[in-house]
Amino acid sequence: MTRRDFLHASALATGALLANAASAADKPKLKKAVKFGMINIKGGVKEKFELIKKLGFQGVEFDSPSN
């Protein structure tokens, strides 16, 4: 491998990494969710969902009906 080939391959690899990083930066990496059973406030379901949204969670996972 010549020096020119090495520099060409390095430039291509760097360009590919930068293009991948730019597209990944647009999407959130993690989504925050909370289990519904963890919300121990008095009130109805609507109040619980309002609290979850206010705290910044993006989803709610309901408890599964298992023993």
Domain ranges of the chain: 1-27, 31-67
- The pLDDT value recorded for residue 23 is 61
Q: What's the rounded Cα separation, in Å, for the pair 52 and 45?
A: 11
Residue 25: pLDDT above 60? no
The answer for residues whose C-beta is within 8 angstroms of residue 51's C-beta and 6 or more apart is 39, 41
Q: Which long-range contacts (CB under 8 A, 24 or more apart) does 21-25 make?
A: none
Residue range 40-50, pLDDT digits in tens: 888 888 998 88
